[in-house]
Amino acid sequence: MFRSRLSIGVRYNSSLATSAQLVERLARTSVRAALAKTAGEVPKSESVENALATAIEAEAGNVRWVQELLNKTEGGGYIVPEAGLLNHNIFWGDMDTFSHVNNVMYLKWFETARVNLFGIYGKRYPHFNEFMSGKGVGPIIRSCELAWRYPITFPDTITVVHKVEPLTQKDRFSLKGVVVSHNARKVAARISEIIVTVDYANGGVKAPIPDNVRSVLESRLELQRELAPAEDQ
């Protein structure tokens, strides 16, 4: 029996025999949740229902192949339905004079995806929002190491996903992330981020990770292990 739940509210159970089945269900559920508001704002009709069904299938398909790619190339741990940037369209203005997306944009994507991921955590664990408020003990990025692997050009769509690394110190934790190009169907960049915890109410001095935040990170690690391909467990 799985003991964890994602923010989108899907309970894991033994009827979902494989990680592939679980990701499939998460993909469809997360897309339905994203479309629910739109669906409620337009008249019910067969054409609308068909359009929504088509959109759900397309979005779930993207989640499936990105998940399969990362399981194969990155050794598991990434949960694509929780991507901080999922199916993000590249803008023409993202490119530079060398006709590919400027390297600085990758840092912005990773930053946005990281903050969005923490927002997902906050929906599932309300105390995580306090951690992100900047009024007490909270996170600040200390360093990052970014490796560009493949040039992205317009037009393209990307997905940016993070995973939590094992906790080894009291006052910091690490994330790894990837940018996936949908056109190339490959990982275009990888990042390692070190995030330290500081007390913003006391001049930004270092502080231990709060116990309730550590428990969230540990639960994500457990979930990552549960969803990892069998050969990586």
36: pLDDT strictly greater than 60: no
Q: Please tell me the pTM assigned to this model.
A: 0.77
17: pLDDT strictly greater than 70: no
Tell me what the mean pLDDT of segment 127-135 comes to: 92
Q: According to the CATH classification, is domain 82-232 in 3.50.50.100?
A: no
pLDDT on residue 95 = 94
Higher pLDDT, 84 or 5: 84
pLDDT on residue 76 = 84
The model's pLDDT over 157-202, given as tens digits with 9 standing for 90+, comes to 999 999 999 999 999 999 999 999 999 999 999 999 999 999 999 9
31: pLDDT strictly greater than 70: no
Reported confidence tier of residue 63, pLDDT bands at 50, 70, 90: confident
Q: Which of 219, 211, 159 is nearest to 184 (CA)?
A: 159
